[in-house]
Amino acid sequence: MQALFSQLLVGLINGSFYALLSLGLAIIFGLLNVINFAHGALYTCGAFAAWLLLEYAGVGYWPSLVLAPLLVGLLGVAIERTMLRRLYRVDPLYGLLLTFGMALIIQGAFSLRFGWSGQPYQIPAALQGAMDLGFMVLPYYRAWVVVFSVAVCAVVWFQIERTRLGALLRAATENPTLVRAFGVNVPRMITLTYGLGVALAAVAGVLAAPIYPVRPMMGAEQIIVVFAVVVIGGMGSIFGSIVSGFALGLVEGVTKVVYPQGSNTVVFVLMALVLIFRPAGLFGKAA
């Protein structure tokens, strides 16, 4: 029983990363119809940005939480304006291939400069140490990860689903011409949306830096699971991806206790099942 609770808690922590990352992916896909294969690489950028800020500018964890996503978000904006924008008229498959290529470039560049092994990044002083829960010892930082992710997801979801700005964004994807007729600068909205999605990936990266080794392939290690999460949640559904992310973390935790060898594959098995029985995803709108 103790083992179950502790693995569930660890699973929830992993789930936080899945949720944050799939949120960014779902926003980009739902609103731009682009599969952002570079999402994992941009998450890596966020982590490296935090490390570089600390190493060369002495900027600590807390300011990096805001600064790194800003910087990486700007990178995202640059990518969208110079390259992605040209592909909106052609088969969406090309968008996928472009972002895949970008991911290779970013990962390759980092590995050239820093090698494949991890850079050290310390847990911020305020969050060091752990609390004894009886059935396990939970490091404060990992608890913070869960709290922060839930907060960010909640705020973003609210912004998109419940505010006027969010409504405009959603309308712009459904019918850009009409929205443009209302005087709204649609291309700029699309750029900013991509930037937002990328910034979310970067924030997840900063969150990961103290506990996961900061290395070029860290994004690649996560990204495919995150894709599966988005498929399970329903590819355009913001709420679906958040819920699925956390849920999947928990499911993985249970699997590690019941059948440890299956913990890596359970997400894909779930994805296959969802696709067979509910192709639009758990919360998605039928295509």
Candidates 47-55, 67-75, 113-121, 150-158: pick the segment binding other proteins (CB under 8 A): 113-121
What value does the CA radius of gyration of the chain take, rounded to a whole number of Å?
19
Smallest gap from Cβ 184 to other proteins, in A, equals 26
| Cβ contact 24:197 at 8 Å | yes
Residue 250 found at the interface with other proteins (CB under 8 A): no
Among 117, 163, 175, 185, binds other proteins (CB under 8 A): 117
- Does residue 55 touch other proteins according to CB under 8 A? no
Question: Dihedral through CA 218, CA 221, CA 227, CA 228, nearest 10?
Answer: -150
* Interface residue with other proteins, options 13, 54, 153, 251 (CB under 8 A): 13
**Region near other proteins per CB under 8 A, out of 57-65, 174-182, 184-192, 273-281:** 273-281
Contacts of residue 254, defined as CB under 8 A and 6 or more positions apart, other chains included, come to: 4, 7, 8, 11
The region of 48-56, 117-125, 160-168, 186-194 touching other proteins under the rule CB under 8 A is 117-125
Closest CA to 74 of 218, 191, 216: 191
Tokens for 161?
């689903």
Contacts with other proteins by CB under 8 A: the residue count is: 71
Task: Report the 10 Å Cβ neighbour count for 146.
Answer: 18
Contact between 70 and other proteins by CB under 8 A: the answer reads: no
The pairs formed by 269-276 with CB atoms below 8 angstroms and a separation of 24 or more are 270/228, 270/232, 271/228, 271/231, 271/232, 274/231, 274/232, 275/231
Which residue has 């952002």 as its token pair?
Answer: 36
Per-residue contact string for residues 71-100; x = within reach of other proteins by CB under 8 A: ------------x--xx--xxxxx-xxx-x
Contact positions with other proteins (CB under 8 A) in 193-212: 211-212
Q: Which residue's CB is nearer to other proteins, number 20 or number 179?
A: 20
Which residue's CB is nearer to other proteins, number 166 or number 213? 213
Q: Residues with Cβ < 8 Å from 246, sequence gap 6 or more?
A: 12, 15, 16, 18, 19
State the Cα–Cα distance between residues 266 and 26, nearest whole angstrom: 21
Residue nearer to other proteins on the CB measure, 183 or 287: 287
CA separation for the pair 76, 83 (Å, rounded) = 10
Among 60, 77, 111, 143, binds other proteins (CB under 8 A): 111
Q: Is 213 in the site for other proteins (CB under 8 A)?
A: yes
Tell me: does residue 268 bind other proteins (CB under 8 A).
Answer: yes
How does DSSP assign 199-237, residue by residue? HHHHHHHHHHTTTS-B-TTHHHHHHHHHHHHHHHH-TT-
Query: Is 105 a binder of other proteins (CB under 8 A)?
Result: yes
Choose the binding region for other proteins from 161-169, 173-181, 199-207, 252-260 (rule: CB under 8 A): 252-260
Enumerate residues 139-178 that contact other proteins by CB under 8 A. 139, 141-142
Regarding 261 and contact with other proteins (CB under 8 A), the answer is yes
Which one of residues 48, 238, 263, 282 is an interface residue with other proteins (CB under 8 A)? 263
